[in-house]
Amino acid sequence: MDELIRIGIAEYAISKQPVILRTAGLGSCVGVVIYDQERGLSSMAHVMLPDSAISRNREAEIGKFADTAILEIVKRLRANGALRLRAKIAGGAQMFQFKYEHESMRIGERNIASVKDMLQKTGIPLVAEDVGGTNGRTIEFHSKSGRLVIRTVNVGTLEI
């Protein structure tokens, strides 16, 4: 059985071993999986917010923001020999319905857009996604097979 690594909110993990990376409680947050299957390298980040510009302590909050989390993960994976990185993402739900939705309240949409933008800027193809909606998710990435298992509240299980 592969080791299970739990990633909390605003955290990230990188592994060189066969593992299962899991994060729960993805509401408006986005789970980002970046991996090189041929080299056995995998990572997951539980991104809370789109942009680190609002951070007072960027170094301590790398995993919290789409821009810093993705840049750090890509840098570390490439330093470990990654050549063919790919990404899968899930989450970014609109958890709260407001009568007058202000742009700042649309965190899920903004997180998805920022994650996709950072993947494009770093040259990493997005090979699968399950984003949006109004329900929370738990995701599990199985590094050996490259499967991302997504359990969505009130919807069921999907594999991408």
| 19, 26, 29, 44: the active-site residue | 29
End-to-end CA distance of the chain: 21
Look up residue 123 and give its DSSP letter.
T
Question: Are 21 and 42 contacting, i.e. CB atoms less than 8 angstroms apart?
Answer: yes
The answer to whether residue 74 is catalytic is no
Label residues 42-55 b or e (16+ Cβ within 10 Å = b): bbbbbbbbbebeeb
The rounded distance, in Å, linking the Cα atoms of 81 and 67 is: 22
Of 117, 42, 130, 50, whose CA–CA distance to 86 is shortest?
A: 42
Helix (H, G, I), strand (E, B) or coil at 157: strand
The rounded distance, in Å, linking the Cα atoms of 66 and 30 is: 9
Would you please indicate which residues are annotated as catalytic (active-site) residues? 29
